[in-house]
Amino acid sequence: MQAALTVYPVVGLPEIDRGADLAGMISDVAELADGDVVVVTQKIVSKAEGQMVEVDPNDPDAKRLLAESQAVRVLRRRGDLVVTETRHGYVCANSGIDLSNVEEGWAALLPEDPDRSARRIRDGIRARSGRTVGVIISDTFGRAWRRGVVDVAIGCAGVRGIVDLRGTRDGLGRELVATEMCIVDEIAAAAELVMGKASAVPAAVVRGIDPTVLGEGSVTREVVRPYGEDLFR
Amino acid sequence: MQAALTVYPVVGLPEIDRGADLAGMISDVAELADGDVVVVTQKIVSKAEGQMVEVDPNDPDAKRLLAESQAVRVLRRRGDLVVTETRHGYVCANSGIDLSNVEEGWAALLPEDPDRSARRIRDGIRARSGRTVGVIISDTFGRAWRRGVVDVAIGCAGVRGIVDLRGTRDGLGRELVATEMCIVDEIAAAAELVMGKASAVPAAVVRGIDPTVLGEGSVTREVVRPYGEDLFR
């Protein structure tokens, strides 16, 4: 069978500190090719961008209060969990704040503007390696109606967020009415399969993405559903 | 870079009619290996199982009424769209009923029991090819809060629906509190990337899945969030 899509873990990255040149580091350890999509987890982007805040590990309310400080809207509460809408428009648990894979006493906030983070990494990879790639910043979100979490895109550059198949024809030649595939979420999910939360591989390369999917893209503009359009908020 | 995951489209399947032996057909055109996960789209499973009903193409209400007949609960309405909870427990648009890629005047309902459909295909592949594979039945669902649709799992066999990383350690050696990855949804999403709605590739093979993920699995028991546990219904 001919492979259509291959997902490679990016191994060998050092521990990421504030100011780390992620684009350079990834270019150095991954053999990138034009048209690859590089998926970078939010955690190392937040670390490199210095989006870290101290939390008192002995204060049981600290994480919840921090999450609420990052939210424009609290949608649901259950015990320790708050489901919030962040100022970017993401709906997720605890405003995406994370205390795993960070130093004790610290929490990672989401990047300020993950689409911009993706553009910077994309530009940096081009500058360092000469390769033109798409970049997705991924994070692990829960869902309504379905148990378990999956990785989704919170930012992208050089890859379209949504691909509209409206007007293309189905296999029987009839026009498809509306199939707007959220390609960046599917790529983020595919990348997670080689990362593993415990093995701490914080980036992956997806090779073989349909070139028509590459181009201008933005998660906040394309994928985030505005409050007024949403049926479940 | 060493490939960790490869996704192959299953090409060369004939048009699927009622009674079609999907397991045999897939075994014949794909070079399967032990440990592969075979993702089969709902559409051809429904066709093979005869889950097709006539709809009057001139009746503007026909699809909505059919969708409501397949639902245990209507959650939202907007114009033509109804968001329903099916008797399997899936929350999706129009009870998962689909009129694309089927003959004019017909609609494909969801399989009666997609986990069972997956088990049958898995057993059939083992009988025909001697290979032990995981099988996922996938469908294309919308989401709350995010635009666009993605492929998710509606049934599985031989692959765990949710992998609980609770108790494993993060990269800094601290215990992860709860990371229940919905692996089957991520695999379904990865598979969609080689299918394309318009090119009508109705199955894919995902190779390189972590063997610890293979085992007893069920979407309806593991992934479907029961009504009472859900915060958004």
Last residue of a domain, one of A110, A131, A160: A110
Tell me: do B100 and B151 sit in the same domain: no
Tell me: do A116 and A197 sit in the same domain: yes
Domain containing A14: what range?
Answer: 1-49+111-221
Tens digits of residue pLDDT in A143-202: 999 999 999 999 999 999 999 876 566 666 665 566 899 999 999 999 999 997 656 799
Half-sphere exposure of B25 (CA within 13 A, CB side): 19
Considering the domain boundaries, does residue B231 fall inside one?
Answer: no
- List the CATH number of the domain containing A209: 3.30.1330.100
- List the CATH number of the domain containing B64: 3.90.1660.10
Last residue of a domain, one of A69, A87, A110: A110
Partner-chain contact A179 B230, CB within 8 Å: no
Which ipTM did the prediction report?
0.94
C-alpha distance from residue B138 to each of A147, B39, B59, B226 (Å): 16, 7, 29, 20
Partner-chain contact A193 B199, CB within 8 Å: no
Tens digits of residue pLDDT in B150-160: 999 999 999 99
Report the number of distinct structural domains present in chain B. Answer: 2
Tell me: do B38 and B136 sit in the same domain: yes
Considering the domain boundaries, does residue A229 fall inside one?
Answer: no
Residue of B nearest to A147 (CA): B223
Partner-chain contact A171 B146, CB within 8 Å: no
For residue A164, the model assigns a pLDDT of: 85
Tell me: do A58 and A26 sit in the same domain: no
Q: Output the average pLDDT for chain B.
A: 92
Tell me: do B73 and B164 sit in the same domain: no
For residue A98, the model assigns a pLDDT of: 85
Tell me: do A69 and A119 sit in the same domain: no
The residue type at B116: R
CB A48 within 8 A of CB A118: no
For residue B98, the model assigns a pLDDT of: 85
Q: Left if phi > 0, otherwise alpha if psi is -120 to 50, otherwise beta: which for A24?
A: alpha
Tell me: do B128 and B176 sit in the same domain: yes
Which residue among B176, B185, B200 sits closest to A171, beta carbon to beta carbon? B200
For residue B182, the model assigns a pLDDT of: 97
Give the count of beta carbons closer than 10 Å to the beta carbon of residue B79.
6
For residue A167, the model assigns a pLDDT of: 59
Give the position of tokens 């399997």. B88
Considering the domain boundaries, does residue B230 fall inside one?
Answer: no
Considering the domain boundaries, does residue B168 fall inside one?
Answer: yes
Partner-chain contact A147 B224, CB within 8 Å: yes
pLDDT over 70 (residue B69) = yes
pLDDT over 70 (residue B40) = yes
Partner-chain contact B140 A172, CB within 8 Å: no
A interface mutation test: which of B41, B78, B99, B100 has the most A CBs within 10 A? Answer: B100
For residue B100, the model assigns a pLDDT of: 77
Considering the domain boundaries, does residue B129 fall inside one?
Answer: yes
Tens digits of residue pLDDT in B174-226: 655 668 999 999 999 999 999 976 567 999 999 999 999 999 999 999 999 99
Tell me: do B37 and B125 sit in the same domain: yes
Tell me: do A184 and A88 sit in the same domain: no
Considering the domain boundaries, does residue B123 fall inside one?
Answer: yes
Instruction: Divide the 233 residues of chain A into consecutive groups of 10 and give the mean pLDDT of each group.
Output: 87 94 98 98 96 90 92 91 94 90 88 98 98 98 96 98 76 67 97 80 95 95 92 86
Nearest CA-CA distance, residue B196 and chain A, Å: 9
Tell me: do A184 and A119 sit in the same domain: yes
Residue of B nearest to A175 (CA): B100
Tell me: do B57 and B89 sit in the same domain: yes
Token pair of A232, please? Answer: 């479940």
For residue B121, the model assigns a pLDDT of: 98
Considering the domain boundaries, does residue A231 fall inside one?
Answer: no
Considering the domain boundaries, does residue B229 fall inside one?
Answer: no
pTM over 0.80: yes
Q: What is the mean pLDDT of residues B49-61?
A: 91
Last residue of a domain, one of B85, B110, B135: B110
Question: CA B152 to CA B119: how far, in whole Å?
Answer: 17
What burial letters (b/e) apply to B99-132, b meaning 16+ CB within 10 Å?
bbbbeeeebbbbbeebbbbbbbbbebbbebbebe
Which residue among B31, B172, B189 sits closest to A185, beta carbon to beta carbon? B189
